[in-house]
Structure 1
Amino acid sequence: MATGKGYRQTYRRKPPKNKKSFPSVWLLLGMLFGVFLLNKPLFSRFISNDNLTAFTTTVLEKNFLPTSVVLTERISNPVAGNPKILPLTESDPLDKLAASLDYRGSSVEELAKILTPLASTESGKARLAYAWITQHIAYDVEALKRDRRELDLSTTGVLTSRMTICSGYANLYQSLAKAMGLKSVIVEGYAKGPSYLVGQDQDINHAWNGVKIDGTWYLLDATWGAGAIENDQFVAKFNPYYFATPPDQLIYSHFPAESQWQLLPTVYTRAAFDQFPDLSAPFFRDRLQLLSHQDNRTISANGQSEIRLNTPDNILIAAQLLDKTGSKLDQSYTFVQKQGQQAIVRASFPSVGEYELIIFSKKREEETYHQAVKYDIKAVAPGEAFPLIYGSFADKNAYLETPLTKSLPVNQASYFQLKVNGANKVIVVNQDTNQITELTPSSSFFIGSVVINPGKIIVAAQFPGNDQYWTLLEYN
C-alpha cells in the first residue's frame, strides 16, 4: 500500500556549447556534424543513475497500518480554512529554524516547550511542528519487513528511534500540536501510489492530520512531507507542499475514510477518487490544467494516445513511458511539443499491453523535471515510434506537423512541415550520404519534400546572430 507519492524522475542535460561557423558551404557539413555531437538529446537513452533520480516510491504492505494506537478526537462538521491567507511562504524561515533544532530527548512536552516560544501565531506553531517532524524523523523502511505488532508508534518510541511509518508521523504531529496549544486530529484513509489497486483496496492504508488554525481546519501529511523511498532507501527531502495543502488538490491523492475530512463543499465517492488522474505536487505548483483525459485509466485503440494540457509560457513538459514491469521504454515512444500555451503529449505503444505514462514539468530556468501526472493506459493495438526530440526543439519552441514517425520510407519523398520560431533556415540532413535539403519558409512554417535515402536523418535550424545549426529532430 502506498503512503508516499508514486514516481519522481529527474532529467539533467548540459547546455550546448557555441561553435563558430566557417565561410565555405562545403565546410558546413563538418560544422553540422560537430553541432550534432554537441547538441545531445534532451531525452538521452544513456542517462545514468548518477544524473537522475529515477522513480521514487514510498510503499507499505497491505493491511500494514496499525490502528491500535491511532486515537483522535471526533470533530463534527469541521470548517475548511483558506491556505492562501496563511502568513507563510513556501520557503518559510520557520522551516530552517526547525531544521536547526536538534532535540535529542523523547518527551513531546519538552519538545513543545522548545518550539512554542519560537512562533507567535497558531499558523506559525502548526508549521513549526510540521517542519520539525518532517526534518528530524525518517521513514522506517525496514518496518515493511517486520510484524506490525512489533512497532512502537507511540510518541516516545518515535522520538527515541527517530524513525516511524505514517501512523507514527500522524500520532507525533497530533500530540506535539496539542502540547503547543493547538487542536489536531488524525485522519485515516487511502493514499495513492504504485501499489494502490483501483477499486480493490478495501483496507485503510494511510494516516495524515488535520490542524485547527484560527478557528478553521487545514490538512497536512508529515509522512509525504519528510521525503521518499528510492531503491529501498529513505531519502530525506523536506516538502512544504504537504502542509496546509488545498483540499481540492489533496483529494487527488488522499481519500479520507470520513468524508467530512475532504473539507470540500462537494463530497466525492471512493469510486470518483479511484478515477481521478494521479496528480502530483508539481502539477499544481506549475499551474497545469488537463484539457483531455480527466480519468486515470485510458484505452488506446489505435496504438497511440494524445493528452493535452494547458501550461504557462515558462513551463516545459516531458514524458516517459513504462511497461507493465515498470521498465522505461525508449524515448522515441513519447513525443511532447507545445502549441502556444497548450502542451501536446503523444505516446505510442510498441505492442498490445498495459503501460504507465508519466508526464513531467519544470520551469524553464530549472535543470530538473518532476512528475506531474501519471496515467494507466491499456493499448489494444501497437503503434509506431516517434522521431527523437533534441533539447533545442523545446528550447527554440519548435512544433512539428509532419512526419511524426521515426522510420521514414526509403527511396520515397517525405513531406516535412514544422514551425521553428525565429529561425533563418531549417535543413534536413542525411548523415550517411551528406545530403542536405533546405526547407522552404511558408507563412509561419518551413516545408518541403525530401527523398529519403538509407541513413540517419537530422533536422536542424539556424538562427539570427549565430551561424551554428541547432539539432531539432532525428529520424531513421
Structure 2
Amino acid sequence: MRFFKYILTLTLFLALTKGYGQDLDKVDRMLSNYPANPSSTEELANRIKNDFSNDLERVRAIYKWIALHVAYDTKALGKPQRVRFSYRTLAELEAKKKQFRKDLALQTLKKRKALCEGYSTLFQNLCQQMNIECEIVPGIARRLISEIDRQNLPSNHAWNAVKINGKWLLVDVTWAAGWVDYSKMKFHQEFSSAYFASDPNEFAMKHLPDDQKWLLTDNINSKAEFASQPIPYKYFLGKNIKLLSPQKGTINMLKSTGVQFNLQNVPADTEIAYHFKREKYGQKVKSFTKADTLSFKIYSELKGKDELVIYFNGEPALGYKVIVK
C-alpha cells in the first residue's frame, strides 16, 4: 500500500505545480528586477500581488525573493531566542503574539539576516497580506549522516505549509537560501528550488513536524521511521527520482559482495559515483538499466563503520551510514 500512497501523493504534487501551466521560470526571471531593500513588507507584498496573477506564482515570488535577499544569521545561531509576554486576557496574549510576528517579519526584511523563525515568519506575513493561507511549522530537521537513526533529536527548525488551490504545499525557504559551512560558521548564499512545493515523501526524509498532520503523507508513522531514512541532499530532491533500495539509512554489507542500489527516473545523462569517508578516493559506478530501473553496486575496501555519499554528476545526492563486515 505504501507504493500506492507514494504514487497518489506524487500525482497530486505534480498536478499542483505543473498541471495548471504555471511558468515558474518566468516568475524567477521577473524577481531579478525586484528591489533588494523594499521599505516595508506591505510594499513588497503589494508589488508581488500586482505583478502575478495567481497564488502559486505569488508564493513562488515570495520564496524566491526571501531566498535571494535574506542571509542566514550564523552569529545568532545557538543564542537563546526567548520572548516573554505579560498579559491579562487570552485576547491580549494573541494580540501580542500577532504583533511579535509582524515585528519579526519587518526586522527580517530590514536586516536581511535571520534564523529559520525569521525566514518562516516573513514568508507567512507576505502570504497573509495576499490572503493566502499559510502556517509556520516547527519540527525536527536532519542534515547530517551522523543523525541517521538518532531518535532523540530536538525540535530545531521551522518551515511553512501554504494552501494553494485547496491543497497544502510544503516550503522551506531557509534551506532554499543557501548553506552553512559549520567549520567556519560561514553562510554561503546559493538559491535552490528543491524546497519549494516539495513532494511530501521527499520532504519527510529531512523534516519531521512537531504536529504530524503537517507531514502530508502517511508513509512516516513514528520518529523511528523518520530517523531511519537516508539523508537526501538537494541534488536528489525535486527531481522526481524514486529510491527503491536501500531505503534504510544504515546499510549492513559484506566487503566481498557490496550492496546494490536501485532507483527510478534518474536522468539518462547522470554520472553516478560514490565515496566512503574513510577511503581516500571515490569511485564511479557501472550502472545498468532494466525497464525504468537503474541499478548499480558499490563496494568498500575497509571493514567497520563508515559513512557513504552517493554523487550525481559530482554533487552529493544521498547519504548513508554503513557497517562493512
TM-score, normalized by the shorter chain, greater than 0.5? yes
Displacement of 1:287: 4.7
For 2:97, the equivalent position in structure 1 comes to none
Correspondences of 1:243-282 after superposition (within 5 Å) = 243-266=196-219, 268-282=221-235
For 2:129, the equivalent position in structure 1 comes to 179
Distance change (3 Å), C-alpha of 1:200 and 1:100:
same
Correspondences of 1:312-391 after superposition (within 5 Å) = 312-323=267-278, 329-331=279-281, 334=283, 336-340=285-289, 342-352=294-304, 354-362=305-313, 369-379=314-324, 381=325
Q: What letter matches 2:19 in structure 1?
A: I
Q: Is the 8 A contact 1:304 1:349 kept in 2?
A: no
- Tell me the alpha carbon deviations over residues 147-166 of structure 1, each in whole angstroms, 9 at most, x when there is no partner: 4349x981122112101011
For 1:192, the equivalent position in structure 2 comes to 142
Distance change (3 Å), C-alpha of 1:286 and 1:94:
closer
Q: Is the 8 A contact 2:204 2:220 kept in 1?
A: no
Q: Pick one of 63, 82, 88 that aligns with 2:22.
A: 88
Does the alignment pair 1:207 with 2:158? Answer: yes
Aligned residues: 287
Distance change (3 Å), C-alpha of 1:213 and 1:192:
same
**SS class of match (1:174):** helix
**SS class of match (1:241):** coil
Displacement of 1:202: 4.5
- CA-based RMSD of the aligned residues comes to 2.7
Distance change (3 Å), C-alpha of 1:163 and 1:278:
same
Displacement of 1:288: 3.8
Q: Is the 8 A contact 1:303 1:349 kept in 2?
A: no
Does the alignment pair 1:237 with 2:190? Answer: yes
- Tell me the alpha carbon deviations over residues 167-209 of structure 1, each in whole angstroms, 9 at most, x when there is no partner: 1100110011101221110111111112636334342111100
For 1:426, the equivalent position in structure 2 comes to none
Q: What letter matches 2:286 in structure 1?
A: Q
Distance change (3 Å), C-alpha of 1:130 and 1:253:
same
Distance change (3 Å), C-alpha of 1:287 and 1:264:
closer
- Of 338-347 and 110-119, deviating more is 338-347
Percent identity (aligned): 28
Unmatched 5+ stretches in structure 2: 1-11, 84-99
For 1:448, the equivalent position in structure 2 comes to none
CA distance in structure 2 between the partners assigned to 1:344 and 1:145 by the alignment: 41
CA distance in structure 2 between the partners assigned to 1:205 and 1:317 by the alignment: 32
Displacement of 1:255: 1.2
- Of 169-178 and 336-345, deviating more is 336-345
Displacement of 1:102: 1.6
Please list every run of at least 4 consecutive aligned residues from structure 1 whose deviation after the TM superposition is greater than 4 angstroms. 284-287
Correspondences of 1:10-409 after superposition (within 5 Å) = 82-89=16-23, 92-105=25-38, 107-144=40-77, 146-149=79-82, 154-194=104-144, 196=147, 198-230=149-181, 231-266=184-219, 268-302=221-255, 305-310=258-263, 311-323=266-278, 329-331=279-281, 334=283, 336-340=285-289, 342-352=294-304, 354-362=305-313, 369-379=314-324, 381=325
TM-score of the superposed pair, with normalisation by structure 2: 0.79
Distance change (3 Å), C-alpha of 1:272 and 1:281:
same
Correspondences of 1:454-473 after superposition (within 5 Å) = none
Correspondences of 1:432-443 after superposition (within 5 Å) = none
CA distance in structure 1 between the partners assigned to 2:30 and 2:315 by the alignment: 27
CA distance in structure 2 between the partners assigned to 1:319 and 1:338 by the alignment: 12
Displacement of 1:266: 4.8
CA distance in structure 2 between the partners assigned to 1:148 and 1:304 by the alignment: 50
TM-score of the superposed pair, with normalisation by structure 1: 0.55
Q: Is the 8 A contact 1:321 1:347 kept in 2?
A: no
Distance change (3 Å), C-alpha of 1:281 and 1:104:
closer
Q: What letter matches 2:317 in structure 1?
A: A
